[in-house]
Amino acid sequence: MEEAGTILIADDSRASLILLQRGLGRLGYDIVTAESGQEALQLAEENNVDIFVLDVQMPGMSGFDTARALHATTQYRETPILFLTGEEDIQQRIKGFEAGGVDYIVKPFHTVEVAKRVGIHLELFRRRRESERYANEMETLADERAKQLAHADRLAMLGTLAGGVAHEINNPLSFISGNVQTMVNLWPLMNQLIGKELKREPDDPDDLDFIREEMPEILDGIQGGIQRIAKIVNGLKTYVREKGVDREAYQIAQVFDSALTVCQGALNQVEVITEFEKPLPDLMGDSQKIEQVLINLCVNAAHAMEGREDQKIWVRAHKDGDAIVVSVEDNGEGIPAENLLSIWDPFFTTKEVGKGTGLGLSICQNIIREHGGDIEASNVEGNGAKFTFKLPLSQ
């Protein structure tokens, strides 16, 4: 049987109250009884009622009035109500349904029949609520999915846009950079010449002296800025979908070795523990790009452990069906739950201004997807963050 429930029975006849209470109580229902409509309303407020059985003819408030009052509340707006009546009048029955009743039982009743009908209406009501809840859940899911898709769309568009912008900026950037370099090269000579000039006409050399002192620093600042722009532009360029990724067979362990050589500097405080299954089959793809992913992940890990004692990175690889799974785990601070999605967004960074561009992970995701794989981030209980990517062996 379905879970029992609470039935509120209102009848001014004590005899029929007792009869129903016994008959329904035996079936495991919780029974609340009232001898008038008013009492029924009050008890309904104090209890959590699943279904009402109301006598129609009660002194004071009739069963119909009680039903209307119940359905006017938020709590019982849709709760099923069964009417009990002594009259077998069709008009009366219609009035009962109009007052919001779901069923109509004529006295003298048989408790077994009442019990069956109560059971059926409770079940119907529960199923309706269940399907409403289900429909709501579905709607929420559909909403979320639509939002995710819109987000993915925006990111894809942003990617294309960023790739285009990077390409456009790259040209002027290279001639700015070239010209500044020329200025840097010319400055010592210019400075010398100005010095000679001044010796001839030393009118008011204060401002000029200042400029001559500051100039190397100014040029240095410009060059720093240019380098930073170049780094960002370079990162953005990987968003341009390059047709035909370089494809070659490579061993993930070897690629990791050369990644380690590149980021040795960043990892000098870190113990790197590798656990590679042996032997592992060759992967196909652009090993340089995969190396870039491993470098990004390791450098991120090192940053997350900065200033801590006992800094460790575990790099693991194993075969899983038709794919190779690679993970990079650290014992740093982990990733706050609210950032787990945004870390993949281009320009999302928690590092101080000037330190991170926020492009690293979004580039990693791009590269792994280009290779038909997937990458995800999680936190390891009692440890730091763990990034796992999966590369298919054959495409």
Q: Which residues bind ligand ATP (CB under 6 A)?
A: 296, 300-301, 304, 330, 332-335, 343, 348-351, 356-362, 384-385
Q: How far is the CB of 231 from Mg ion (least distance, A)?
A: 12
Q: CB-wise, 194 or 340, nearer to Mg ion?
A: 340
Q: CB-wise, 65 or 333, nearer to ligand ATP?
A: 333
Nearest Cα neighbor of 295 from 309, 311, 279, 313 is 313
Calculate the CA dihedral of residues 203, 205, 211, 216 and round it to 10 degrees.
120
Q: How far is the CB of 170 from Mg ion (least distance, A)?
A: 22
Q: How far is the CB of 145 from ligand ATP (least distance, A)?
A: 25
Instruction: Return d(Cα 387, Cα 390) in angstroms, integer.
Output: 10
Taking a C-beta distance cutoff of 8 angstroms, is the pair 35, 14 a contact? Answer: yes
Q: How far is the CB of 334 from ligand ATP (least distance, A)?
A: 6
Instruction: Return d(Cα 205, Cα 199) in angstroms, integer.
Output: 10
Tell me which of ligand ATP, Mg ion, none is bound by residue 304, counting a contact when its beta carbon lies within the kind-specific cut-off of 5 to 8 angstroms: ligand ATP
| Site stretch for Mg ion (CB under 5 A), options 81-89, 142-150, 283-291, 359-367 | 359-367
Q: φ, ψ for residue 348 (rounded to 5)?
A: -80, 120
Taking a C-beta distance cutoff of 8 angstroms, is the pair 353, 276 a contact? Answer: no
Q: CB-wise, 244 or 307, nearer to ligand ATP?
A: 307
Per DSSP, the three-state class of 358 is coil
Q: CB-wise, 56 or 385, nearer to Mg ion?
A: 385
Tell me which of Mg ion, ligand ATP, none is bound by residue 286, counting a contact when its beta carbon lies within the kind-specific cut-off of 5 to 8 angstroms: none
Tokens of 325: 């799974």
Q: How far is the CB of 155 from ligand ATP (least distance, A)?
A: 13
| Site stretch for Mg ion (CB under 5 A), options 150-158, 295-303, 333-341, 382-390 | 295-303
Q: CB-wise, 300 or 366, nearer to Mg ion?
A: 300
Q: CB-wise, 251 or 350, nearer to ligand ATP?
A: 350
Sole residue written with tokens 């002027």: 172
Q: How far is the CB of 264 from ligand ATP (least distance, A)?
A: 17
Query: CB neighbours of 216 closer than 8 A, spacing ≥ 6?
Result: 187
Which region holds residue 335: left if phi is over 0, alpha if psi is between -120 and 50, else beta? beta
CA distances from 312 to 161, 258, 259, 381 (A): 38, 19, 16, 15
Binding Mg ion by CB under 5 A: which of 300, 327, 331, 362?
300
State the Cα angle at 267 between 352 and 312, rounded to 5°.
100
Q: How far is the CB of 173 from ligand ATP (least distance, A)?
A: 18
Tell me which of ligand ATP, Mg ion, none is bound by residue 325, counting a contact when its beta carbon lies within the kind-specific cut-off of 5 to 8 angstroms: none
Q: How far is the CB of 298 from ligand ATP (least distance, A)?
A: 9
Residue 393 DSSP code: S
Nearest Cα neighbor of 106 from 32, 55, 68 is 55
Q: How far is the CB of 336 from ligand ATP (least distance, A)?
A: 8
Residue nearest to Mg ion (CB): 360
H or E segment to which residue 129 belongs: helix 111-200
Tell me which of ligand ATP, Mg ion, none is bound by residue 358, counting a contact when its beta carbon lies within the kind-specific cut-off of 5 to 8 angstroms: ligand ATP
Q: CB-wise, 80 or 384, nearer to ligand ATP?
A: 384
Nearest Cα neighbor of 49 from 27, 65, 34, 36 is 34
Binding Mg ion by CB under 5 A: which of 100, 332, 346, 360?
360
| Site stretch for Mg ion (CB under 5 A), options 36-44, 87-95, 269-277, 360-368 | 360-368
Interaction site with Mg ion (CB under 5 A): 300, 360
